[in-house]
Structure 1
Amino acid sequence: RPSAEMPERPRAAVPRGQSCDVVLSARRLRWSPILPESPTGGTGQGVAQEEIIEMKDVFSVKLKRRRFAGQQKGGTLLGITIFKCLNKEENKLTDCAIHLNNLSEDHCQSWFRHLKEILNGFQNRPKSLKVFVNPSSHKREATNIYDEKVAPLFKLADIKTDVTVTEYEGHALSVLKECELQAFDGVVCVGGDGSVSEVAHGLLLRAQIDAGKDTEYVSKPVRAPVPLGVIPAGKNERYCYILLVICF
């Protein structure tokens, strides 16, 4: 992991394309604009405003390159792009991109390597997910929601996925009874309340079976072996909140 200050710092293009001093530590990324000196020897534009990103909120980092239309690899190196989560409003997240511009291949590769080491050091970061998509959820929107909004973020974060598009009621339940859950860091359900209920049931049922418990009546159920993530794609989202509070 990098030390509190790294000797070779890229220029940051944030905010508003300003040149900045950037400092990386294992917990956060900090930057502040570089202010020109005034004729009297001080800075002529007031105190530099420092901004901070908590590394726990970063979900991906990529080398930024300029490529021609259709070009898949190579291209002119422009710097590094950092992707982080923002709380848009209650219970909702959005993503934003922060661009650190530097044309030095060595500097960018060094920073990219350090940033990846920090992200990989977070033990609770998922690397592989089992995904269930119910294509029949509210107005058949679940598939489009997953393909257009969710899958690109998983790819950006280098998360491997095993996707099952359910074909009938009970499909997810039957898959969860048989699949190797230890191969995944979590299960994600994209659908409405019925889909979430079925997947939650499957996870809890699988936990009882693996623990050798009687599945007809369980007074103290064993905790689900992996966490459940819910991407609401139904008519309402009430069950999602109730379920996650009670069961997980």
Structure 2
Amino acid sequence: MTARFEVERAQHQAELNRLRMVSAEEARASAEAEVRDRTHSLELAQIEVVTRLAMAAEYRDDTTGDHTQRVGQLSAAIGARLGLPPEEVELLRVAARLHDVGKIGIPDSILLKPGPLTPGEYCQMQRHTVIGARILAGGHSRLLQMAETIAHNHHEHWNGQGYPCGLVGEDIPLVARIVAVADVYDALTHRRAYKAAWPRDAALAELAAQAGRQFDPAVVREALAVLDELPFLNAGSGGEEGPLTVRASA
């Protein structure tokens, strides 16, 4: 009887231990699921805020607010072809939308001027890169850090003739090199207050002509492939070619 009692007690204790382990595992899984849900909700909230900030900046000179979305889509497609990891591609899709957030600090008299800018006005326009970087500086998330990098560097040129720092070649962050091409293409193919929309073929030819000068040749190569494969990214292009005065991308 004693031996049987000891066996039953051991079995009972083992079952209690099993139930405790199951309960602890369920509690851990529940806590992890709650953390994931909260993290996902925070990420969605951050994306929503970023998107609205991008639209607020874009409404300054594009009443549809679609420019930033198109630049984000094209940038992500180029990034994917260049081999960026899927997570980086999705960050780029959103972060690219903040490339011109610094336009918030540019006076309407310059941003919306229908004619050519004076040298002084052009210098003031160039400040939108620095203003944008300052707005986004200090962010702890990878999204805001990438957006800051893009805002500050998307007007740097492959040949070192860009601004604000005159960076050359691969010293320019890759995400900024990608957005530079996407931004110029979209700006060329859509009407602005100071220019008519360029025909698609003329805009593509301009990208090719600027490879190795304004743009990273590898980025241009993949951009041309993307634009050939994804016709929807060309929507809105057309019109008569005008002078290459693309203020958001000059």
Higher relative contact order (CA 8 A, sep 6+): 2
Q: TM-score, normalised by structure 1?
A: 0.29
Max radius of gyration: which structure? 2
Structure (1 or 2) with the greater strand fraction: 1
